Amino acid sequence: MHGMDNYDKYTGLYNYFNTINTMKKILSVIAVAAITAGAATSCQQHNMLTAAEEADGWQLLFNGENLDGWRDYNGDSLTNGWRVVDGCIQASGEGGDASGYIVTDKKYANFELVWDWKLTHGGNSGMLYHVVENPKFPVPYVTGPEYQLIDNEGWEEVNTPAKLEEWQKLGVDYAMHLPDYEKMHVNPVGEWNTSKIVFDNGHVEHWLNGEKILEFEAWTDDWFAKKASGKWGDATEYGLAHEGVICLQDHGDPASFRNIKIKELPRKAGKTVDLFNGKDLTGWELFGSMRVSVDGEGNLVTENGEDLRYGYLGTREYYDDFDLTVEFKQVTNGNSGLFFHSFVEGGYKNNIVNGWQCEVAPKGNDTGGIYESYGRGWLVQIPDEKETILKEGEWNMLRLRVEGGKVQTWLNGEAMVDIEDELIGKTPGRIMLQIHDGNNIKVLWKNFKLTTL
């Protein structure tokens, strides 16, 4: 669980719990000692797979002996107090909203994830998934959804007069979806419970002690409405990644985990998506400064905003591996671009984009080349002899294919670039249309056709 105040501004989410009261710290120290004393009889015969589980594709995320395969969030080692005691992973209770997170080395997309957990009185923790690691994201929960782990009644006793909102309680998809409380059977504090998350190509389930307590579909109109209207309204990249690391949270309370195992599920590729419906901006989000409209012929029109600064129109969903074709016409100037694997920092009013751009620009400026906004600049420009392929003032067909770190582009049927870049393959993100800063820029777009790979 995360901070209780200012929850509509994700840049301040991690400030609240940094000042935990003295009594709670004393209780935490006592609780750690109690957990350690009882761990020898509770974990030593666990953290193993049966032959049937191995045959079915299950893998252990914790070997019962050490924290191999785990590290700090945004780090390359373990430094924040997590340890293994008699076969259990233990959070020391020294973390808070801004720190205390450990993540798997490996990223996961579709899976069944099962684990046992045990809290102390008033304890607060969580299991997050699809977490994106990047220095631009100071904490994992601004990208990764969370299965909330908390002692509901005990937390309120310890933190009186604060009260938990329903979306902060045990078993919720944090700040998004509520469980069926009638199906929740929770063992007393200090005893083990078993939870499960199923993520299957957007279908999500939460389980608790053998009962399915929550079920929903990610990335639907209802999902995006919940995201926009609640805690994540300004967290532009929350929940969008289709793949990421798994994360355990130390939120200032001791917690124990064992029997953490995962079974990966297949990706369902080959889906064809019409990114633009020819009528309105459904499925798109506006960032920074630009004017966007749909003209009488069903074309998407992008133009300078009044302040003549950069502006971006991005898909509300992430697309990682895909083959996309789109037509564009440069009405005036034409300094634009088709971004991919990109995200925005600083909220919807900002125009700071991190990612890669397939260039769309006036003749002589490398339309079809690949430019990086992270700092490396041009990754590949087009040969000079291919500058004549662009038809200024007419419709052009642009094709962009991205699979892992391999990027290929075509303009009007002619191959333009073909590159491999490891960083692109590691970084998820949106597809975005850019309007460059400057004056008198107007570009039309139509016939977006995307196929997932």
pLDDT tens by residue, 145-157: 999 999 999 999 9
- Using DSSP's 3-state secondary structure scheme, residue 423 falls into helix
Q: What is the pLDDT of residue 54?
A: 97
Structural domain spans, the chain: 10-264, 272-452
Q: What is the pLDDT of residue 10?
A: 40
Q: What is the pLDDT of residue 13?
A: 40
Q: What is the pLDDT of residue 43?
A: 61
Rounded to whole angstroms, the Cα distance separating 357 from 208 reads 44
Residues 40-67 have a mean pLDDT of 88
Contacts of 54 (CB under 8 A, 6+ apart): none
Residues 261-270 have a mean pLDDT of 97
Question: Per CATH, which fold does 10-264 belong to?
Answer: Jelly Rolls (2.60.120)
Q: What is the pLDDT of residue 350?
A: 82
Q: What is the pLDDT of residue 44?
A: 59
Whether 8 has a pLDDT exceeding 70, the answer reads no
The CA-CA-CA angle for residues 170, 101, 240, to 5°, reads: 70
Between 24 and 186, the more confident residue is 186
User: Each residue of 442-452: pLDDT tens digit?
Assistant: 999 999 999 99
Whether 369 has a pLDDT exceeding 50, the answer reads yes
Does domain 272-452 fall under CATH 2.60.120.560? My reply is: yes
CA of 133: how far to CAs of 5, 16, 247, 282, in Å?
25, 22, 11, 29
Q: What is the mean pLDDT of the chain?
A: 91
Does 140 sit behind a cis peptide bond, omega within 30 degrees of 0 on the bond before it?
no
Residues 175-189 have a mean pLDDT of 97
- The pTM of this model reads 0.90
Residues 403-414 have a mean pLDDT of 98
Structure tokens given for 279 = 């009528």
Residues 319-346 have a mean pLDDT of 96
Lowest mean pLDDT among 18-27, 71-80, 347-356: 18-27
pLDDT > 90: what percent of the chain? 85
Q: Are the C-beta atoms of residues 115 and 261 closer than 8 Å to each other?
A: yes
3-state secondary structure 361-398: CCCCCCCCCEEECCCCEEEECCCHHHHHHCCCCCEEEE
Q: What is the pLDDT of residue 327?
A: 98
Q: Kindly give the pairing relationship between strand 322-332 and strand 370-372.
A: unpaired
Query: Any idea how long the chain is?
Result: 453
Contacts of 221 (CB under 8 A, 6+ apart): none
User: Each residue of 136-146: pLDDT tens digit?
Assistant: 999 999 999 99
Same fold, 10-264 and 272-452: yes
Per DSSP, the residues of 3-52 read -SSSTT-GGGTTSGGGS--HHHHHHHHHHHHHHHHHHHHHHTT-S---HH
DSSP 113: E
Q: Where does 175-236 have alpha helices with state H?
A: 221-229
Whether 26 has a pLDDT exceeding 70, the answer reads no
Rounded to whole angstroms, the Cα distance separating 417 from 126 reads 44
User: Each residue of 183-229: pLDDT tens digit?
Assistant: 999 999 999 999 999 999 999 999 999 999 999 999 999 999 999 99
Using pLDDT thresholds of 50, 70 and 90, give the confidence band for residue 42: low
Q: Are the C-beta atoms of residues 249 and 128 closer than 8 Å to each other?
A: yes
